[in-house]
């Protein structure tokens, strides 16, 4: 019922957003303000409030629940292999689509090229904050980008927590978790504390989610009211290619869940529907993390030792939707502006391979927040000699596409837990050869059973 109301909230929000689109009157402005207040300030703010401690304590809980060190290695390499494989598949799907559909050569191509300078000035005026970020990223060399990521990794953990720097939090939590395992008996008293804090954070998540249908209604309404739908029409081929690619990738993820994870794709979809909806509305994998955790623990019943480790890592570095979209966007811009200053003349095999590699890297480096993919796309553009100034063209539709890519990113993370769990804990109750929903006893992980007995 609650999930149904989330989707009803989403639909009603879309209706209100479309009604308010382009309206500048006092009432419309006030309504958008109120929607923004509840959607962004209250809902996203509340989710963000619990994300940093959640990442820290869930990784600690996951690591310290591992019976052997070998198991950490087992989960670790499988997780990374899954992330790299699915992200690569996503980019390949995007590249095949953009090269065969050629969205940049369709629609009002000549008109866009002729009016580009004029249009760019207008777009920069309207999306000045995004343009500034692109300009800053443009000046960065790949070596500097790596250095900056490293700077985020090795930091004071309190600073990482206070700035919600997930890379820094994960790195410290993994080190701390390993240290706690090595300390052995002396660390035993803190284990129940970690468990209790985790349970309390999930309780906070449930409180926030109680009003999720209303919050999601507000988010969708304010986004559509501000963005409008007219811009979608002018970039329809590009938008269609990205969404088409994402739909194919979602089908691939479901097939992976069925074939490799040996679970029913329908059961999986049902289990993650809340996280999917929240990701779609918030456009942030990080803000969605508490809800993803809740779905994966409570609905998919994935053992905690897998979920608590795979999900925070996935929210930070596994972004299939982002990778797919970055490859499509850069090739779309090259197709559209080919022959203009700062645009490569030809699209060849070498360029395609470079785009593939850099799109995977850029998605790993993207923060799990709205618009992050737009900024790291500069890395892909720079690598193939496309002047990043052309990215401005896709600003107007980016928030809309962010909804699709973020929900795919979150779905990819959740599918990863199912796949890794199948290998790491094949004996977990309800896992072996059971293709559907684990009923009753079958749904409980070995750990909770152990706790009961
Ligand atoms: N908003 C996306 C996420 O949080 C990242 C992106 O902009 O592509 O997963």
CA of 93 to the centre of ligand 1 (A): 18
- Residue 285 CA: nearest ligand 1 atom is 4
- Residue 325 CA: nearest ligand 1 atom is 8
Q: Output the residue whose Cα is nearest ligand 1's atom 2.
A: 406
pLDDT of residue 444: 39
- Residue 406 CA: nearest ligand 1 atom is 9
Cβ atoms of 166 and 286 within 8 Å: the answer is yes
Instruction: Give the tens place of pLDDT for each residue, 124-150.
Output: 877 777 878 887 777 777 777 778 778
Q: Hey, CA dihedral for 81, 84, 87, 90, is it positive or negative?
A: negative
CA of 255 to the centre of ligand 1 (A): 23
Question: Is 87 exposed, middle or buried (CB count within 10 Å of its CB: 0-12, 13-18, 19+)?
Answer: buried
The preferred substitution site among 330, 368, 404 for testing ligand 1, maximizing ligand atoms within 8 Å of CB, is 368
Cβ atoms of 54 and 201 within 8 Å: the answer is yes
Local confidence pLDDT in tens for the 453 residues of the chain:
567 888 898 899 989 988 887 777 888 888 889 998 998 889 988 988 888 898 899 888 888 877 666 777 888 899 999 999 999 999 999 999 999 999 988 877 888 888 888 888 888 877 777 878 887 777 777 777 778 778 888 899 999 888 888 888 989 998 998 898 888 888 889 988 998 998 898 889 888 888 889 999 998 898 888 776 666 667 889 999 999 999 999 999 999 999 999 899 999 999 999 999 999 999 999 999 999 999 999 899 998 888 988 999 899 889 999 999 999 999 999 999 998 988 998 888 999 999 999 999 999 888 888 888 888 888 899 889 898 889 988 988 888 899 999 999 999 999 999 999 998 876 664 554 444 444 333 333 333 333 333
CA of 195 to the centre of ligand 1 (A): 29
Residues having CB closer than 6 A to ligand 1 are 283-285, 319, 322, 366, 368-373, 402, 405-406, 409
pLDDT of residue 2: 67
Residues 6+ apart with CB under 8 A from 281: 10, 13, 39, 215, 216, 219, 220, 403
CA of 403 to the centre of ligand 1 (A): 8
What is the three-class DSSP state of 165?
coil
The preferred substitution site among 167, 249, 280, 285 for testing ligand 1, maximizing ligand atoms within 8 Å of CB, is 285
Q: Rounded to an integer, what distance in angstroms lies between the CA atom of residue 50 and that of residue 39?
A: 16
CA of 285 to the centre of ligand 1 (A): 6
CA of 209 to the centre of ligand 1 (A): 21
Q: Rounded to an integer, what distance in angstroms lies between the CA atom of residue 278 and that of residue 289?
A: 10
Q: Output the residue whose Cα is nearest ligand 1's atom 1.
A: 370
- Residue 374 CA: nearest ligand 1 atom is 7
pLDDT of residue 1: 54
Q: Rounded to an integer, what distance in angstroms lies between the CA atom of residue 108 and that of residue 336?
A: 10
Q: Rounded to an integer, what distance in angstroms lies between the CA atom of residue 84 and that of residue 388?
A: 26
CA of 405 to the centre of ligand 1 (A): 7
Q: How many Cβ atoms are within 10 Å of 198's Cβ, its own excluded? A: 22
Residues 6+ apart with CB under 8 A from 35: 13, 16, 217, 218, 219, 221, 222, 225
């Amino acid at each position: 019922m609650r999930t149904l109301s989330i989707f009803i909230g989403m639909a009603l929000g879309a209706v209100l957003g479309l009604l308010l689109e382009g309206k500048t009157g006092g009432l419309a402005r006030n309504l958008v303000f109120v929607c923004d207040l509840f959607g962004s300030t209250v809902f996203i703010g509340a989710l963000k409030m619990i994300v940093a401690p959640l990442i820290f304590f869930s990784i600690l809980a996951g690591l310290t629940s591992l019976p052997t060190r070998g198991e950490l290695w087992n989960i670790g390499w499988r997780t990374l292999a899954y992330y790299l494989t699915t992200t690569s598949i996503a980019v390949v799907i995007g590249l095949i689509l953009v090269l065969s559909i050629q969205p940049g050569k369709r629609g009002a191509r000549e008109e866009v090229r002729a009016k580009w300078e004029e249009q760019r000035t207008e777009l920069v005026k309207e999306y000045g904050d995004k343009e500034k970020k692109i300009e800053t990223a443009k000046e960065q060399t790949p070596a500097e980008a790596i250095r900056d990521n490293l700077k985020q990794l090795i930091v004071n953990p309190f600073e990482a927590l206070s700035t919600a720097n997930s890379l820094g939090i994960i790195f410290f939590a993994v080190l701390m978790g390993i240290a706690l395992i090595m300390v052995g008996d002396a660390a035993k008293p803190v284990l129940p504390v970690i468990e209790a804090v985790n349970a309390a954070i999930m309780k906070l998540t449930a409180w926030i989610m109680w009003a999720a249908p209303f919050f999601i209604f507000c988010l969708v309404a304010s986004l559509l009211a501000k963005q409008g739908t007219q811009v979608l029409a002018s970039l329809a081929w590009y938008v269609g290619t990205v969404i088409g690619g994402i739909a194919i990738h979602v089908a691939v993820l479901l097939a992976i869940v069925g074939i490799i994870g040996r679970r029913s794709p329908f059961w999986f979809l049902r289990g993650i529907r809340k996280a999917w909806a929240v990701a779609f509305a918030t456009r942030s994998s990080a803000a969605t993390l508490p809800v993803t955790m809740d779905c994966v623990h409570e609905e998919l019943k994935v053992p905690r030792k897998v979920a608590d480790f795979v999900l925070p890592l996935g929210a930070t570095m596994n972004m299939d939707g982002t990778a797919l979209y970055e490859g499509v966007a850069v090739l779309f811009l090259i197709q559209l502006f080919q022959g203009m200053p700062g645009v490569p003349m030809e699209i060849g095999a070498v360029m395609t391979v470079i785009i593939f590699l850099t799109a995977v890297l850029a998605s790993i480096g993207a923060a799990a927040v709205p618009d992050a993919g737009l900024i790291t796309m500069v890395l892909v553009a720079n690598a193939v000699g496309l002047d990043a100034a052309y990215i401005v063209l896709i600003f107007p539709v980016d928030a809309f596409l962010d909804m699709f890519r973020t929900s795919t990113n979150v779905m990819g993370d959740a599918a990863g837990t199912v796949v890794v769990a199948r290998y790491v804990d094949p004996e977990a109750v309800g896992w072996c050869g059971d293709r559907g929903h684990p009923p009753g006893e079958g749904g409980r992980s070995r750990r909770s059973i152990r706790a009961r007995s």
